[in-house]
Structure 1
Amino acid sequence: MSGRVLVLLALAALAACADTPPPDAQGGGTVVARVGESTLTEGDVADALGDVPASLDSVTAREQVVEQWVQRELLVQEARRQGLDQDPTVRRRLAEAERAALELAALNAHFDRVPATPSDAELQAYYDRHREALALREPYVRLRHLRLRDPSRAEDARASFQRAVASAVPDSLFALVAREYADDPEGAVAFSSEYVSESQIGALDDVLAERVSALPAGAQVAAVPVGRVVHVVQVVDRVPAGTVPPFRLVRDELAERVGVQQRRDASARLLQQLRAEARSRGALEMPEE
């Protein structure tokens, strides 16, 4: 495949970004990265991360957002320099991307007017009907976790962490320890309230996952060096595979699952309405169904 075709495909994949004006650094906060006249701000990074749940590797996630933006902008600007934004194939794909964006905007506007949000009663009914299917297929753990890029602080962090979890108010004191030592204090505190599967931890780091799997649930705090980073962790609780999680732990997941189905139903009703309206004013011609 020629270099020109590769650049064309890259530009097509980034079609939505190709004709977007540079971000307003004044409106988005501190500039994080710049390529030519285009800038990435703190606000842009926050928008890119969106509502992603706090994870063990939130700092790395931020780094990936910045790196991917730089790579994208380098390709887009190189394509423009070569005049590829005038290529008929690219212009057609840009037009297709615009139509897809407008389609999504119409659906989002409809959902704003008629929110597809399941009620607690609907979620409880769904939970009751699908209890067996909701049984965990693998072990889950709840961790308190600190990620430190400065190994020299690891022992102090571990000692403070140990005192916190041995106290009568471990969550409150852990938040203070996280604020003092963690690379991402807010992410560490948010993550400590969640249950995650052991495979999720393994996907982030094999060494950390192996050490976590060997830790008992309780007050033991361990420092796990991984390269230049040190993870200081405590296993708060373990839930074995086959357990049906209580409703409160899966409520958010069920809300997303049921909400998706409700949005599909709402989309189908909207399309039926638009189809009928277009036919009534003679604006729709298509083969008879």
Structure 2
Amino acid sequence: MKYLLVVVGLWTTLLIACAPQSEKSELVARVNEVVLTKAELDDRLPDQLDDQRSAAERTQFIEEWVSQELLYQEATERNVHRNALVYSLIEQARRDLVVAAFLDSVFGNRPSDISDKELSVYYVDNKKNFERSEDEIKAQHILLSTKRDADALRQNLLQGDDFEKAAKDYSLDQETKMSGGNLGYFTATSMPQFWEKCYGLPLGMISKTVSTERGYHIFRVLAHEPAGSIKELQQVRMEIVEALVVGKYQTRLEELIGDIKTRHDWKIFPH
């Protein structure tokens, strides 16, 4: 059964991949009479700034296409596509795609506007859902490649240099440097190595130089929140936005279905 679901998941990809292409397009792969063209390959792979990554992705896509096409052709030769369950799953996948395209045409892909008032009301009404299950720490860090550089920078920070500016200027952590080294909130479960280095560090104090497999870190703890406390609105803002957007979408969907029901003959029979 699980293999049938995988087949259905790949059905759309296979249909697109097998679509006829211009004869002028250079061929990059072939399985019997079915071909994959360069134009099709270019359409399916996003542009990448890293040429090596792009080349690797192209090779992987081609190999996966060949594998899936071989499996598909072998399956059809064995008449697996005539299996009633397979046909039913394919038909359901087709119906789901049609419905998805219809809903996209009706609702568009623009997110619903969520006001600050809606955010605040939802937060107040659902505070229990934002209770911390573990102790949390909010911290910043600066990552450097050598202990010498880290020790020198730490001395400057102890003498009053701005931590956020130093992180932006010197940190090697590309994910956090532009936010001043902000690691956000984390727990002993989510980031055990950083938790071990930061737990017990007084608020605002510059840590000693700390070594990990990534390099040499300087930490500063900004907050320590105990389990059972309520997360701040800003910390759960995106979670609330997502919940409100989903709720608005569900409301619009129910309204749409209700309207359609008034224009069609339908009935649910006893069962």
Deviation at 1:24, TM superposition (A): 3.1
Q: Distance in 2 between matches of 1:105 and 1:199?
A: 43
- Using CA pairs under 8 Å that are at least 6 residues apart, name the structure with larger relative contact order, 1 or 2: 1
The answer as to whether partners of 1:164 and 1:170 remain within 8 angstroms in 2 is no
Deviation at 1:213, TM superposition (A): 3.5
Q: Distance in 2 between matches of 1:100 and 1:190?
A: 41
**Higher helix share goes to which structure?**
1
Q: Which amino acid aligns with 2:69?
A: R
What is residue 187 of structure 2 aligned with on the other side?
198
Superposition pairs of residues 34-183 of structure 1, within 5 angstroms: 34=55, 39=58, 70=60, 74-82=63-71, 83-84=73-74, 86=76, 87-88=80-81, 93-94=89-90, 96-112=92-108, 115-145=111-141, 153-156=145-148, 158-159=150-151, 162=154, 165-166=157-158, 167-178=160-171, 181-182=172-173
Q: Which amino acid aligns with 1:171?
A: E
The answer as to whether partners of 1:139 and 1:198 remain within 8 angstroms in 2 is yes
Deviation at 1:163, TM superposition (A): 5.3
Deviation at 1:8, TM superposition (A): 5.8
What is residue 25 of structure 2 aligned with on the other side?
none
Unaligned runs of 5+ in 2: 17-39
Deviation at 1:176, TM superposition (A): 1.3
Among candidates 192, 212, 230, match of residue 225 of structure 1 = 212
Q: Which amino acid aligns with 1:220?
A: S
Q: Distance in 1 between matches of 2:104 and 2:180?
A: 29
Q: Which amino acid aligns with 2:206?
A: A
Deviation at 1:120, TM superposition (A): 0.9
Q: Distance in 2 between matches of 1:276 and 1:164?
A: 72
Q: Does 1:24 align with 2:10?
A: no
Instruction: Tell me which moved more, 247-256 or 193-202.
Output: 193-202
3-state SS of paired residue (2:113): coil
Q: Distance in 2 between matches of 1:155 and 1:15?
A: 54
Among candidates 211, 223, 230, match of residue 237 of structure 1 = 223
Relative to structure 1, the CA distance from residue 236 to residue 224 in structure 2 (aligned partners, 3 Å threshold; closer, same or farther) is: farther
What is residue 178 of structure 2 aligned with on the other side?
189
Deviation at 1:23, TM superposition (A): 4.0
The answer as to whether partners of 1:118 and 1:258 remain within 8 angstroms in 2 is yes
Deviations 1:66-110 (Å, cap 9, x if unpaired)?
xxxx4x864542131241574416676455444434433433444
- TM-score between the two structures when normalised by the length of structure 1: 0.62
3-state SS of paired residue (1:201): coil
Q: Tell me the C-alpha RMSD between the 2 structures.
A: 3.9
- TM-score between the two structures when normalised by the length of structure 2: 0.65
Q: Which structure is larger by alpha-carbon Rg, 1 or 2?
A: 2
Give me the identity figure in percent: 14
Deviations 1:115-172 (Å, cap 9, x if unpaired)?
5332111111122223344232222222324567xxxx23245336535754453212
Deviations 1:29-48 (Å, cap 9, x if unpaired)?
3452457xx728xxxxxxxx
Q: Which amino acid aligns with 2:178?
A: V
Aligned length: 235
